[in-house]
Amino acid sequence: MARRFKRHKYKHELFRCSTNLLFDRDPTSEKNHVWVGDVTFIRVGRKWPYLSTVMDWYTREIIGWRVSKNNDAMLVKESLLMAIAGNNHTAETIFHTDQGVVYASKIFRQTLESFGFRVSMSRKEHCLDNAYMESFYHTLKTEMVYFMRFKHLAEATIHIMDYIRYYSGYILG
């Protein structure tokens, strides 16, 4: 006999402590004030590796990214560390994401706290709360990914890296 679906009580605790700091807020007017992050998947052969990116909300520049076979806390942590290494965030910098479980993980939360970020998460079932990242992924996939047939993860990573450089140069150009 099949078991019924059982909701995990602890999952709701992880999301309850985060509010949407960007809701009903005027757009920021300076760099490194709000960063947004998200994860998507890219087809490589018969597998679906994941792409994690961090974007500066004001400039729309991709400031951190990582590709991995696994959608886990280390993937999003590494993309955040790349963003931190190349940019000057402040104690007032907000890091905003959707309610993905990797962003609620203890490892990722501890990383955000250790670097002094203010944590913000989208409301449940409101994809437009993280619209800039969703828009970037749409652009990436319609301009490059859907036209490519990647055979290896290294090949996909190189093309994604080139596209991110192109996109960031276009946005800042």
Structure tokens at 140: 């990436």
User: Distance of CA 4 to CAs 7, 8, 9, 11, 127, Å?
Assistant: 10, 13, 15, 18, 28
Give domain 30-172's CATH superfamily. Ribonuclease H-like superfamily/Ribonuclease H (3.30.420.10)
- DSSP conformation class of 117: P
- Domain residue extents for the chain: 30-172
Kind of pairing, strands 94-97 and 118-121?
parallel
Full-model pTM: 0.85
Structure tokens at 101: 């479980």
pLDDT by residue for the chain (173 residues), tens only, comes to: 566 655 555 554 555 556 777 766 667 778 999 999 999 999 999 999 999 999 999 999 999 999 999 999 999 999 999 999 989 998 889 999 988 889 989 999 999 999 999 998 876 765 666 788 899 999 999 999 999 999 999 999 999 999 999 998 876 65
75 near 66, Cβ under 8 Å?
yes
